[in-house]
Amino acid sequence: MRIFGSEFSAHKCAFSVWAPEKKTMLLHIVSPEERTVEMEKDASGYFYTTLKNIDPGTRYFFMPDGKKDVPDPASHYQPLGVKGPSEIVDHYAFEWEDQAWRGIPLQDYIIYEMHIGTFTQAGTFEAAIQQLDDLLDIGVNAIQIMPVSQFSGERNWGYDGVFPYAVQNSYGGPDGLKKLVNACHKKGMAVILDVVYNHIGPEGNCFSEYANYFTDTYRTPWGQAINYDGEWSDGVRDYFSSNPIYWFSQFHFDALRVDAIHTVFDTSAVHFWEQVNTKVKSLEKKIARPIYMIAESDLNSTKVIKSPEDGGYGFDAQWLDDFHHALYVLLDKNGKKRYEDFGSIEQLQKAYNEGFVLSGEFVKFRKRRYGSSSVGVSGNRFVVFTMNHDQVGNRVRGERLCSLLDFERLKLAAAAFLFSPYIPMLFMGEEYADESPFFYFISHEDSKLIEAVREGRKKEFAPFKSEGEPPDAYAPETFYDSKLKWQKRNEGKHGVILRWHKKLISMRTSYEALQNMDKKDTLAHVVGEKAIALHRKREHENILCLFNFSEQGFLYTMPAYGERWERILDSREAEWSVDGSSNATSAAQINAGQNMQVESLQVLVYKTI
């Protein structure tokens, strides 16, 4: 495999950088002893050299055409930030303790999305390790880490990363990240990393100093698009398609969540995503454990998860935003202001039964027909959620669901997605209804860039003027206010919601019918005024989930999947109330064909006996 950046082994280090139109390249060692070395160029436009008697921690720049110091675009560590020198890392020195780890099947993942900087007060990888047992206690078995590639400053969501191969210095650098992955594997937890291949952050972006990494042919919402199909795009494709291999090989990740794949533009005969996923599958065979690629896609297309042999991109799964939208608008009376094309109970029914809700209909938001059908696609190809970083952070006040919904609706939301036939993902703090906002925050150095971000946020939220002005993304308090308040985890309603999530996840992992993601064994019906009867089964086990989104109760006739039904969950029982009182009226057992009263905003779950 080609070296990108530097590769250290046994007191020698190989360096490589792609700059096809540059005539010369100098390697400038700046510490511990300064010196410059002229690099050789091969026919593919790569400059390379190998130095002996050199140690990890050595810092360096490259000098394209000998003009000025520029950080390595494939730097593995930027200890002084995006404008400082790159540092040699010995990836083979870390003592891994996960040799027995063989991963978890993707369909068994209970995912927990976290932002390292706000997940704990310390905001580091090592601090995150201290909270893993709390996540294990409720049944989480996979954490998803928002991007950690080096960005400018210390406060950022991570999607403005500048060095895709370098681990954020303020979080603990490469060794800190390895410690977290290692700790997770020792505890039986998988680890997913969020990665960005559609753009590069603005501050410290040095790529144009080397080659035509960007194109003006296309545009992304966040800046210049990456050049995946224009002149001199071969090296660009090599650089980015090798990045997943780096994370899987050197950091032992189990999966990557790939940001906004629809903003990677490529008209090549072999699409960039085909190239990436073919490389990943080849690596999977070599390491003999499953590794997964999960897409965030705005396409509503099954092409994303089809194999390259069938004309697809080859991803293992993709986020299902339609499920979130259909569920959220039923729960929040103001939800339709954000998702005007959603709002009917039949759309949630479709989300359960098919996946994509918008599958070729005219969509008001897009002013065109949009989407394709996902009928028959297995549930293990979709990830669902009631919240994620975007859904929370892209609100004016950064409100979480628990700040928008009452207690009963909050319980209803959790059950509705955790009992779905899809891979569930919680957003950090959701499990105990943490009320801390999750704002957008930055800490760039460039005053013009800071002001541009401020103005951009104001423009973005102009349609929501009634909700006030968004907080200053640059202000430190915007970041600190977004940190979780772990001390509230077991207090009052937070403790009830925590136990509720633990119960739901326990049921999901205990009953085979709730683990089954085969769509032929899932059937959702609309019942009452605004309720869903969700039937899940596997062989002889039948589970019936009743979700009433209405403030009106109704009579429901128990179906004839079995002669008798036994209640296994009722959201109105005393243990699921804040004051310990019960207003449950459901029968502990009931015969098929008998009528049962379903109360407003109630969750009821029965199994056949």
Tell me the two tokens of residue 299. Answer: 């396409």
Q: Give the Å distances, CA to CA, from 257 to 63, 158, 293, 541.
A: 34, 13, 6, 33
Nearest to 338 by CA among 385, 427, 404, 384: 404
Mark the binding-site residues for substrate, compressed into ranges: 257-262, 321-325, 389-394
Q: What are phi and psi of 357, to 5 degrees?
A: -90, -45
Instruction: Kindly provide the b/e burial profile for residues 5-32, where b requires at least 16 CB atoms within 10 angstroms of the residue's own CB.
Output: bbbbeeeebebbbbbbebeebbbbbbee
Note the pLDDT of residue 468.
85
**Cis peptide leading into residue 32 (ω within 30°):** yes
How confident is the model over 375-381, as a mean pLDDT? 97
| 296 carries an active-site annotation | yes
Give yes or no for a contact between 199 and 225, defined as CB atoms under 8 angstroms apart.
Answer: yes
Q: What are phi and psi of 576, to 5 degrees?
A: -105, 20
Q: For residue 558, give the DSSP letter.
A: P
Whether 458 has a pLDDT exceeding 80, the answer reads yes
Q: Which of 259, 316, 354, 570 is catalytic?
A: 259
Note the pLDDT of residue 425.
98
Q: For residue 186, give the DSSP letter.
A: H
Alpha-carbon span 313 to 316, nearest angstrom: 9
Query: What is the three-state SS of 163-178?
Result: EEEEECHHHCHHHHHH
Nearest to 110 by CA among 132, 77, 142, 65: 142
The beta strands (E) that lie in 284-351 are given as 292-295, 317-319
Instruction: Kindly provide the b/e burial profile for residues 197-222, where b requires at least 16 CB atoms within 10 angstroms of the residue's own CB.
Output: bbbbbbbbbbbebbbbbbbeebeeeb
Contacts of 48 (CB under 8 A, 6+ apart): 3, 14, 15, 16, 17, 39, 40, 41, 42
Q: Considering the chain, what is the average pLDDT of its residues?
A: 96
Half-sphere exposure of 130 (CA within 13 A, CB side): 10
Note the pLDDT of residue 434.
98
- The pLDDT confidence band at residue 23, using thresholds 50, 70 and 90, is very high
Mark the binding-site residues, compressed into ranges: 257-262, 321-325, 389-394
Q: For residue 300, give the DSSP letter.
A: -
Nearest to 70 by CA among 13, 27, 40, 16: 27
Give yes or no for a contact between 190 and 254, defined as CB atoms under 8 angstroms apart.
Answer: yes
Which H helix or E strand runs over 306?
none
Whether 291 has a pLDDT exceeding 80, the answer reads yes
Q: What are phi and psi of 3, to 5 degrees?
A: -80, 135
Give yes or no for a contact between 150 and 75, defined as CB atoms under 8 angstroms apart.
Answer: yes
Q: Set out the domains of the chain in order of their start, with CATH numbers.
A: 5-87 (2.60.40.10), 109-319 (3.20.20.80), 518-608 (2.60.40.1180)
- Provide the 10 A C-beta neighbour count for residue 368: 8
Sign (positive/negative) of CA torsion 79, 81, 87, 93?
positive
Note the pLDDT of residue 467.
81
Length of the chain, in residues: 609
- 500-541: per-residue pLDDT in tens? 999 999 999 999 999 999 999 999 999 999 999 999 999 999
Give yes or no for a contact between 163 and 195, defined as CB atoms under 8 angstroms apart.
Answer: no
How does strand 382-384 pair with strand 423-427? Answer: parallel
Q: How many angstroms separate the first and last alpha carbons of the chain? A: 57
Whether 460 has a pLDDT exceeding 90, the answer reads no
Q: Which of 87, 90, 296, 408 is catalytic?
A: 296
Alpha-carbon span 222 to 152, nearest angstrom: 15
Contacts of 161 (CB under 8 A, 6+ apart): 147, 148, 149, 150, 151, 196, 200, 201
| 469 carries an active-site annotation | no
Nearest to 255 by CA among 291, 285, 297, 215: 291
Sign (positive/negative) of CA torsion 273, 276, 279, 284?
negative
Which H helix or E strand runs over 281?
helix 272-287
Whether 465 has a pLDDT exceeding 80, the answer reads no
- 392-439: per-residue pLDDT in tens? 999 999 999 999 999 999 999 999 999 999 999 999 999 999 999 999
- 193-240: per-residue pLDDT in tens? 999 999 999 999 999 999 999 999 999 999 899 999 999 999 999 999
The dihedral over CA atoms of 532, 386, 575, 605, expressed in degrees to the nearest 10, equals 30
- 248-272: per-residue pLDDT in tens? 999 999 999 999 999 999 999 999 9
How confident is the model over 309-320, as a mean pLDDT? 97
How confident is the model over 136-157, as a mean pLDDT? 98
Note the pLDDT of residue 463.
82
Note the pLDDT of residue 201.
96
The dihedral over CA atoms of 458, 123, 402, 572, expressed in degrees to the nearest 10, equals 170
Q: Give the neighbor-by-neighbor strand order of the sheet with 531-538.
A: 522-527, 531-538, 541-548, 603-608, 564-570, 589-591
Contacts of 89 (CB under 8 A, 6+ apart): 6, 8, 56, 76, 77, 174
Helices 243-251 & 173-186 angle (0-180, nearest 10): 60
- The pLDDT confidence band at residue 562, using thresholds 50, 70 and 90, is confident
